A = this chain, B = another copy of it.
């Protein structure tokens, strides 16, 4: 998860993370649009042979990122953010630069999904770490995020 108009550092993290997760055999799921962190994560994942990417789109008919293998069209607007996090075993946020990503992190915590914040601003990590019941890890980079991913799997 991350902004559609992300800073370059967060796009780089997302691209690296997408690639590392795909190398470990994870399916990479994003908001599916051809912008920012979503696009970068799936571009990274699709560098890996045999990878699989899922894009959960907010509308009924828009074109997904060209790096999306399977487009799920929800027509839920920002309500699709809840589907994104519910469908994820672990939620990674590359930066929390805007309210869309903030809503996904909040909904992930609310739904009991483990969350990894990758290089968040200090105000963001401080806030989310203050919430009761949050299963959150804060890491400085994509490599650390990928390294701990498997340890965060809940046993659904």
Contact indicator B75/A156 (Cβ below 8 Å): no
For A138, the chain B residues whose CB sits under 8 A away are: none
Contact indicator B130/A121 (Cβ below 8 Å): yes
B-contacting 9-mer, from A10-18, A33-41, A107-115, A139-147: A107-115
- Per assembly, the copies of the chain total 4
Chain A residues within 8 Å of chain B by Cβ, number:
45
For A127, the chain B residues whose CB sits under 8 A away are: 102, 123-124, 126-127
- Picked from B61, B81, B83, B130, the residue with its CB within 8 Å of the CB of A73 is B83
Besides the known contacts A73-B83, A76-B76, A77-B82, 5 further A-B residue pairs in the complex with CB atoms under 8 A apart:
A75-B77, A76-B83, A79-B83, A100-B110, A123-B127
